[in-house]
Amino acid sequence: LRFFRAHLSAVHAARHHGANVRGYFAWSLLDNFEWAFGYTKRFGIVRVDYATQQRTIKSSGRFFAKVIADRGFEAPPAEEQFAGETF
């Protein structure tokens, strides 16, 4: 969840500085097999129970859906925002 908040804040800052950003996509909808990590790392916004194949929306998925529905969100605290150099 912090990942999405921080990255969406960075996208907003980039747009503010003139970047031509047309959209933002989650890296992966579902947890899946990763060549480097097998099934140990979970990147999706929907959790997959590999034994039963049951899908459960994670808090990050619910957050992402709310951001889309609300067409934005309140910026996270400074310590959660991108601390790198601006453009």
Joined tokens for residue 86: 């601006």
Q: Tell me the mean pLDDT in the region 20-49.
A: 86
Which spans in 17-58 are helix H? none
pLDDT for 87 equals: 47
Spatial separation of the C-alpha atoms in residues 54 and 69, rounded to whole Å: 25
* pLDDT tens-digit readout, 50-63: 899 999 999 999 99
Q: Determine contact, residues 11/20, Cβ cutoff 8 Å.
A: no
Asked if pLDDT for residue 81 goes beyond 80, the answer is no
Residue showing tokens 């601390």: 83
Joined tokens for residue 16: 């503010």
For residue 83, name the pLDDT band (cuts at 50, 70, 90): low
For residue 74, name the pLDDT band (cuts at 50, 70, 90): confident
Joined tokens for residue 6: 């921080």
